[in-house]
Structure 1
Amino acid sequence: MNHIVKPGETLSTISADYRISLSRLIAANPGINIHLIHPGQKIRIPGLPSPGSLPYAINISLSQRRLTLIHNGKVQKSYPIGVGKMLTQTPTGDFVIINKAPNPGGPFGTMWMSLSKKSYGIHGTNNPASIGKFVSRGCVRMYNRDVEELARIVPIGTPVHIRP
């Protein structure tokens, strides 16, 4: 898949966001000047499918506190979510799911799905009363049964669009 460079990003921050080594990122982009990347530039991310090749997408509305699963352009299901509080807001933008980890422990419930932004993900919760509220440190919380269902459906590489 390709990543479009945003202002302030470096190859190091991009490699950290996608959890791949800097050397692997450089190898996937022959001829790139590692000291001179610019906003709007395309960077190839190895190991992830092109989001356009997948039938699924996830749309997240922070204001409505809803996650909507899209399949082939049509709404398949909508889930209630908890999102970041004022001081630790959920980031907006376009991301992809880069990995899944069942039973991550602690407050993350029974499933963790990492987003292509370091330290952020979609996960379950050990506090179901937090769903529907602005309570997290930026992650998207779901009921455990819902995040498990979602994780069974969507593949790695699924695009995630987070909007205010």
Structure 2
Amino acid sequence: MLRSLVAAVLSFLAMTPVIAGGLDPAAINDAAMPAKPTGSDKPSSSIVKLQILLDRAHFSPGEIDGKLGENAQKALSAFAEANELNLDKTITPDLWDKLTATSDGPAIVDYKITEADVKGPFLMKLPAKMEDMKSLEALSYTSPREALAEKFHMSEALLNAINPGKKFDMAGETIAVANVIGQQNAMPVARVEIDKARQTLKAFDASGKLLAFYPATVGSSEKPTPSGTLKVTAINRNPTYRYNPDYRFKGVKSKRPFTIKPGPNNPVGSTWINLSAEGYGIHGTPDPGKVSKSASHGCIRLTNWDALTLSANIKRGTPVVFLDRPGEAIAPAQSRPLARSSRT
């Protein structure tokens, strides 16, 4: 009888997937307040939950990857600032309670992959050079897994980790995903503020209340963003990228203009928010994991989903203020020529 019991237990264990680091949906949904807001290379259930809560509260940690990196820490700090709460070496119960109260529902939910998710078309490989993109019919995702990860604001590594043995290219397959779809409320954004030094974008209402926060890649030393105040002049979804050889981007040898078709892996992602200075805009990116970690061509780069959310909550005429230094006084936009950058 004992031998039969042992055999039954071993059989059950063999059918039960082993999740590295305890990153199974139940562990994430049941996770308690993280003990310390410190970074780690190892994903944890409590940080996955923290990032999802921040995302749903409009304080984006960027790509949800289960690690409390720089972007997640900046988002947590901004949330504490907006709610007049302290954030020192530990996350306080008051801060955690305030965050969990911003939205309802579990952090992780089941999702059944649809025919549309796997239909494509998908790129065999995303070219590394812009010039090699111009002949493509669309800058699509490279796989259903990439598309699903972006749809739920997750890194592909985290999507894999909480779905061991799952096939992302099979319609009807049920997978575990971050519960972020339809979780955010509309925001009355009256002003956008971009901090060049901190690589952040903040959205405020008419009274000056901080409504939303996004990590951003803001220009570069080679092609800095402008100073002062610009305005939103247009919002384009699924933009076409137009390269002007006068930009002289590093690594681009073409001396003739060319265009790159729309798609989430377009150089400006799936959303372009045009600003009132030629060649400047706020846009998405084909590489969400590098937001605020690599230079842009002078524009303001967000994850595709953050750019889409921001575009849905602003309108033409919304002022966009650029801060050269944290806490500086807001000045009018400069009249001098501006550095060139990417545009649609």
TM-score greater than 0.5 by the shorter chain: yes
- Alignment of 1:64 onto 2:224: no
Alpha-carbon distance, 1:133 to partner? 2.8
- Alignment of 1:163 onto 2:298: no
**Matching residue of 1:98:** 233
Matches within 5 A, 1:32-43: none
C-alpha contact 1:110 1:125 (8 A) present in aligned 2: yes
Deviations for 1:20-40, whole angstroms, at most 9, x for unmatched residues? xxxxxxxxxxxxxxxxxxxxx
Deviations for 1:109-163, whole angstroms, at most 9, x for unmatched residues? 1100110000000000112133113511100000111110000001111000011
C-alpha contact 1:59 1:161 (8 A) present in aligned 2: yes
CA distance in 1, matches of 2:294, 2:196: 9
Could you tell me which amino acid in structure 2 is paired with residue 70 of structure 1?
F
- Alignment of 1:151 onto 2:305: no
Alpha-carbon distance, 1:55 to partner? 5.6
Length, aligned pairs only: 111
- Alignment of 1:127 onto 2:287: yes
Residue ranges of structure 1 left out of the alignment (5+ in a row): 1-53
Alpha-carbon distance, 1:93 to partner? 1.3
CA distance in 1, matches of 2:189, 2:282: 19
CA distance in 1, matches of 2:238, 2:220: 24
C-alpha contact 1:121 1:140 (8 A) present in aligned 2: yes
**Matching residue of 1:83:** 218
C-alpha contact 2:189 2:211 (8 A) present in aligned 1: no
- The runs of at least 4 aligned residues of structure 1 exceeding 2 Å deviation read none
Could you tell me which amino acid in structure 1 is paired with residue 268 of structure 2?
F
Could you tell me which amino acid in structure 1 is paired with residue 201 of structure 2?
L
**Which one has the bigger helix percentage?**
2
CA distance in 1, matches of 2:189, 2:226: 24
Larger Rg computed on CA atoms = 2
Could you tell me which amino acid in structure 2 is paired with residue 88 of structure 1?
K
CA distance in 2, matches of 1:60, 1:157: 16
Could you tell me which amino acid in structure 2 is paired with residue 129 of structure 1?
G
**Matching residue of 2:209:** 74
Could you tell me which amino acid in structure 1 is paired with residue 209 of structure 2?
K
CA distance in 2, matches of 1:126, 1:55: 26
CA distance in 1, matches of 2:271, 2:316: 14
**Matching residue of 2:272:** 112
What TM-score do you get using the length of structure 2 for normalisation? Answer: 0.31
* 1:87 match: secondary structure: coil
CA distance in 1, matches of 2:279, 2:205: 27
What TM-score do you get using the length of structure 1 for normalisation? Answer: 0.65
Could you tell me which amino acid in structure 2 is paired with residue 75 of structure 1?
L
C-alpha contact 1:94 1:160 (8 A) present in aligned 2: yes
* 2:233 match: secondary structure: strand
Deviations for 1:30-67, whole angstroms, at most 9, x for unmatched residues? xxxxxxxxxxxxxxxxxxxxxxxx96100000100110
**Percent identity of paired positions between Structure 1 and Structure 2:** 33
C-alpha contact 1:113 1:122 (8 A) present in aligned 2: yes
C-alpha contact 1:107 1:127 (8 A) present in aligned 2: no
> Cα RMSD over matched residues?
1.4
CA distance in 2, matches of 1:100, 1:77: 19
Alpha-carbon distance, 1:91 to partner? 1.2
